[in-house]
Every structure is written in structure tokens, then in C-alpha cells.
Amino acid sequence: MAATVQIHEMTSNTEGGDKTSGTVRFKSADETTVDSTNRLQIPGSGEDFSYTKQLKAYISVAPDTDLTNLEAYSDGASGFGTGVAVEYDTQQTFQSQTDADIAGTNLFTKTAGAPIDMDAINDTDGKTDTGYYGDILRLQMVIQDTASPGTLTAETLTFSYDET
């Protein structure tokens, strides 16, 4: 039987909410609700940072043999406009949510041809059963004083894996 893999937005060390095919909203508060409260603001000068969002794969139905080669990537082009960026890093374990700069890598440099390795730290030999799998992808939106006001268009983050 084929595995069922979900993407969870982590809210603590051991639990997350299913965001598979859903929306993760960057906010100025540490919460997962997708609404227009706690919106990010364009700073008068410098940069402002969202609270981090942490995503991790969760296997709800085990694969026949195993899952390997977990990766994440963007389409390679930000549609957010000038002055808005998304940074990422990968973590072995859950980190406290923060709105301080994580000094990550530009997410939009990661494409299908050069993806983020999501099992480089955890489960390097693959996953054969149910439960959380791979590394935590920590994301943060950066708003610069050069950004334009308005609602941003959605961007897609793709996760892929090999199943045997």
C-alpha cells in the first residue's frame, strides 16, 4: 500500500497541525490561524521579521518498504515583490518560535533541480513506519522598509520523496 504523507505545521516538540495542501500564514504572532489578524507591517526603516513557521513530514500510513530522499523546494521565483523575502533553515528538533532574525537562506534559491535536503539530519537511512519523518523546515518572512503595502499572492512550497 502507498504511504500517506502529511505536512504538519509544528506547534511544539511533539505535535503539529496538518497543513497538507493548506495554507501557512506568516504573522507577527506565534499562532497558526490563517486569518488577517496579527498582520506583518512594513517597518519605517530596516527590517521586520515574522514569527517562524516550522514544517515537518508526518507519515500517517506506512510505506510498503520505506521512504527516502525527502526534499522541499520552491518554483525559484518570489511573487512577493521588492522588499519581501522568505528565509529557511533546517533543524533536527523543534526550536522555540521567534520573531528574531534566523539569518537563513533565501527559500527561492531552492528549486526542483537544487532542493532542500529534508532528511540530512534525521532519518538519513529512510523511514519504514508511521510518525514524523525527516528534518524540520524552519521558515521566516522578512519585510524590508522598501516593501509595498497590500496583500501578497500565495506561493507554493513542494515536498517530494521516493517510496519503495
Number of domains in the chain: 1
Q: How many CB atoms lie within 10 A of CB 152?
A: 15
pLDDT class of 16 with cuts at 50, 70, 90: confident
How many residues belong to the chain? Answer: 164
Sort residue 83 into left (φ over 0), alpha (ψ -120 to 50) or beta: left
- How much is the pTM? 0.94
CATH number of the domain that residue 113 is part of = 2.60.40
Distance of CA 3 to the CA centre of its chain: 21
Summarised one tens digit per residue, pLDDT across range 40-78 is 999 999 999 999 999 999 999 999 999 999 999 999 999
pLDDT of residue 24: 94
Domain, as residue range, for 81: 4-163
Whole-number average pLDDT of the chain:
94
In 3D space, the residue among 50, 55, 52 whose CA is nearest the CA of residue 16 turns out to be 55
Which amino acid makes up residue 91?
Q
